Chains A and B, each alone.
Chain A
Amino acid sequence: MTRDLLTLLPELILAVGAMAALLIGAFRGGKATKFLSGLIVLVMAAGMYFVLTAPDASAFRGAFVVDGFSRFAKALILLSAALCTMMAQRFFEDEGRVRFELPVLIAFSTLGMLLMVSAASFISLYLGLELQSLALYVLAAFNRDSARSTEAGLKYFVLGALSSGMLLYGISLIYGFTGTTDFAGVAAAVKAAGTGIGLIFGLVFLIAGLAFKLSAVPFHMWAPDVYEGAPTPIVAFFSSAAKVAAFVLFIRTILVPFPQAIHQWQQVVIAVSVLSMALGAVAAIGQNNIKRLMAYSSIGHMGYGLLGLAAGTQLGVQGMLFYLVFYAVTNIGVFVCIQAMRRDGEAVETIADLAGLARTRPKMAFALAALMLSLAGLPPLAGIFAKVYVFLAAVEAHLYIPALLGFLASCMGAYYYLRIVKVMYFDEPARPFEGVMGAGMGTILALSGLFTILYVFMPAPLLYAAGTAAQSLFR
């Protein structure tokens, strides 16, 4: 039992930290928020230390597992979550709506993500997922006086509950077929008895439920509205840490229990992937709101990532893990910029507001342009490497047509990223944004931009780390 608890150490630290923050907040009220945000960031840093030093282990009768794969994902999630906590603190200070529950909810949501990433049975998967989603629903509606924010929260909640229902239905069918909820047990049962119709039914529902959480087509409808309505730093959290957690969970839940059923799930994943890439490339073109645009962009990028899963190989998983790093880091940078778009004491978020930014705020414009070009996949920025790894894995698994379609979608999608760069550099300047970005946000943006630009000189270490992480899944 003690050993089991030690395996859970990073999660325990985060849980205790979050509850301590809740207590302090309950006594000190809103004025303690800045301190609590700092506390939560420190707790996340401590959690990160213990994540990176933890040995491989399995705890609670196989419900919870620590391996290279979970370590990689947890480090990325904790990093993104810590950055988003700082962003959120800054954003709500600017808005004048600071409340102490904000860092607490972010911490609980992050805790749920860590549990998801380590889940090795369907029950721990579901509990982790619910812990994460429940906190996210509340965060989406956090600006409770704004109709758009509450609408975002409600939509996210209703559709999230529906997807949880589908997920549970799938899990119960799989349990009915195999008689166990362990990933390892399911894998053994499928290997021994083959795939029955009940298992395939369950698998399809499982994939549908998980695709909802990823906002992959055809389960993407919630994403644009939620991205538009929710507060900007919370959207950054959705599109970095939450996407990483959902994606990593997807990989483990498909590859570990169902390696023998690859022909059954591969077609579904390919279809979801190709549709997401296509919709992401086309639907974002007409958007004027930059947050909606980022929502469609996220749908498209989830499609590229899923192509790596469709390959079902170690190379594919390695490519996906790198894709997630690139995607999370880039998105945080982009949302730091969106958060800095303020005029007359309010946040503005249309693309036209960015006009002529290169003249009013040259540094911010340069960083945002680099991030946009990286998302578009222009060499030599980080984005092109992410896409190349995933496409190569797909080609190696003989998925030529999906890879080709992905390439075409990528070319089409480049249009709307380039349009933003054009608006910033060649249009007549709009009124300048007010306020300064500040040292903290500036540093985050600079780090994100530097990663994007300089990755080309040092690709090896991160790729090696992703490779080791992927390897632990295929033993």
Chain B
Amino acid sequence: MLQAIAFYFFSAILIGAAFMVIAARNPVHSVLFLILSFFNAAALFVLLGAEFLAMILVVVYVGAVAVLFLFVVMMLDVDFTDLKRGAQQYLLPGIAVGGVLALELIFAIAWRWTVTPHAIGAAAAAAPAGVSNTVALGRILYTDYIYYFQVAGLVLLVAMIGAIVLTLRKRPGVRRQSVRRQVSRTPADAMTLIDVEPGQGA
């Protein structure tokens, strides 16, 4: 009973916040509503007993992605009302195409959707008893799935190299502090003494 109340409470706020993300006129408000909806989705995961996913959602999406969005929205001067004006005229065809596709998918898949017995068995497999699912994931992530984990790391490394290759440029005229140059400076490099004749200096 209590769980059901919590579920409806969080989902109602989630749906409301999600709607406000696209409805809000001010993009900063949109991002704030996005953060609200992330938190409520995390609460739903906790209700399902998937606390690891809830944590990840808060840490990654609220902590990194949403804050990044906020930075972008505040830093870049993008006129969002101007961008949205175009969206209005694509609204109807968009809904029509999407609706037809959805109907087709429902028709094709709900018609005779079957799965193998193995798939049903895999879906019903319970998490190991006695440990939280963070521990359970950690146990297999670094043992059975170490290969996938490491290759994913390589993919990220390549992404990093790529970003540097494509964007990093040596800019001329940037003043950087060079400690070596500062320390090795002698009075002889920096000062010149000029004898000015009396009456000559202007």
A interface residue numbers (CB < 8 A to B):
4, 8, 15, 19, 22, 59-61, 63-64, 99, 101, 104-105, 108, 111, 115, 123-124, 127-128, 130-131, 134-135, 137-138, 141-142, 144, 153, 176-180, 185, 189, 192-193, 196-198, 201
Contacts and interface: CB of A to CB of B under 8 A. Distances in A.
Interface of B: 108-109, 111-123, 144, 146-148, 151-152, 154-155, 157-159, 161-162, 164-166
Contact of A177 (B115, B146, B162): B115
Contact of B151 (A104, A128, A198): A128
Nearest to A189: B116
A380 B166 CA distance: 45
B161 A138 contact: yes
A101 B111 contact: no
A74 B163 CA distance: 28
8 contacts: A63-B147, A105-B165, A123-B148, A131-B154, A138-B162, A177-B119, A189-B116, A198-B114
Nearest to B118: A179
A199 to B, nearest CB: 9
Contact of A138 (B122, B157, B166): B166
Nearest to B105: A201
B112 A196 contact: yes
Nearest to B152: A127
B158 A105 contact: yes
8 closest pairs, A vs B, by CB?
A179-B119, A138-B162, A179-B122, A196-B114, A193-B116, A60-B147, A127-B151, A189-B116
Contacts, number: 107
Nearest to B125: A179
Among B111, B119, B120, the one with the most A-chain Cβ atoms within 10 Å of its Cβ is: B119
B115 A197 contact: no
Contacts of A178: 115-116, 118-119
Given A135-B162, A138-B165, A179 B151 contact: no
Contacts of B146: 60
A135 B123 CA distance: 36
Given A124-B147, A193-B116, 7 more contacts: A19-B157, A59-B147, A99-B165, A105-B161, A108-B158, A189-B118, A192-B116
Contacts of B123: 179
A197 B113 contact: yes
B114 A15 contact: no
Contacts of B116: 177-179, 189, 192-193, 196
A179 B120 contact: yes
A134 B158 contact: yes
B117 to A, nearest CB: 7
B35 to A, nearest CB: 26
B144 A61 contact: yes
B123 to A, nearest CB: 7
Given A15-B154, A130-B155, A198-B113, A124 B118 contact: no
Contacts of A142: 165
A337 to B, nearest CB: 28
Contacts of B109: 197-198, 201
A59 to B, nearest CB: 8
Contacts of A201: 108-109
A137 B162 CA distance: 9
Contacts of B155: 127, 130-131, 134
A180 B158 contact: no
Contacts of B119: 176-180, 189
B122 to A, nearest CB: 4
B167 to A, nearest CB: 8
Contacts of B122: 179-180
Contacts of A63: 147-148
A59 B166 CA distance: 36
